Structure 1
Amino acid sequence: MPRPQGDGLRDGERYEQGMVVRREVLSDAHVDRSIENTTDLTADFQDFITRIAWGDIWSRPGLDRRSRSVAVLTSLIAHGHHEELAMHLRAALRNGLTVDEIKEVILQSAVYSGVPAANSAFRIAGEVFADAPRDAGR
């Protein structure tokens, strides 16, 4: 049965769609590591995030991936999710944001999420960008 206002996809189809989007945004290497590290404890969570976060939300047509990356970065900064922030900074570059645009997102977050949050985000971004290929997002 399709979800109300839904796209009518079944869970298996949503999982497959989610896996495509997840790989495009995060990279095959990242997703492969996540799958390899899946345990009995985390298997249901991996299925959940693939179907819901990637197959449902990230696959919606209402925002492009650049816009979704801006929203995710802002939320991760606000909530202090540093490990996820590093991952999504790399994803933002893959989604076409430039380093200068990401800098503006972090500056904007300083006003609404606090200077300490932005300070941490700039530190993490510096580490991520130091490891990124030279031409990525520039």
Structure 2
Amino acid sequence: MSGAAPNRRERNGVVQPDATSQEIYDGGMVVRREVLGAAHVDRANANKDGFTEDFQDMITRIAWGGIWTRPGISRQMRSAVTITAMVAHGHWEELAMHIRAALTNGLSRDEIKEILLQTAIYCGVPSANTAFKTAQQVFHEMDNAAGPPN
């Protein structure tokens, strides 16, 4: 057992006092690709224009580089929190994306079901109803894309 305090990089992810904006962006892009998949990130980047470029840069640096790189909680926990936030605010397209991400991050369909059951109590049954339909559609799309088992 080590009594040494964690260094700043361990406590803060890529956001360090001496980190450049490019280092934060690059670290965020690595995690964004790992969590959402390269195809999704490539589509988002291909669709950016002068109007959306600053927004894409901001979410890569702040959300993915500033928050998702932090080691304080697991990616599974981050996915659970994010799913709950999407349900609470009714962001259904983002919920679908983060359900896929949660599976990538190691949550099972049963764990996602439990998260959605929890949201029924704290976010409301109508929101959870839509969330279950959204998850069901995501699972159906994933199952169909996988094709029949060999």
TM over 0.5: yes
Q: How does 1:24-103 map to 2 (within 5 A)?
A: 24-103=34-113
Q: Which runs of 4+ in 1 moved over 3 A?
A: none
What displacement does 1:57 show?
Answer: 0.3
> Aligned partners of 1:43 and 1:108: how far apart in 2?
36
Superimposed CA distance per residue, residues 40-93 of structure 1 (whole angstroms, 9 cap, x where no aligned partner): 000000000000000010000101100000000001001000010000000000
How much does 1:132 deviate?
A: 1.5
Letter in structure 1 aligned against 2:78: R
Unaligned runs of 5+ in 2: 1-11
Task: Name the counterpart of 1:21.
Answer: 31
Taking only aligned residues, the RMSD between alpha carbons, in angstroms, comes to 1.4
Q: Distance in 2 between matches of 1:122 and 1:67?
A: 19
The two structures have a TM-score, normalised by structure 2, of 0.84
Larger radius of gyration: 2
User: What residue ranges of structure 1 are gaps of 5+ in the alignment?
Assistant: none
Instruction: Count residues with an aligned counterpart.
Output: 131
* Alpha-carbon distance, 1:133 to partner: 4.3
Identity of counterpart residues, as a percentage? 56
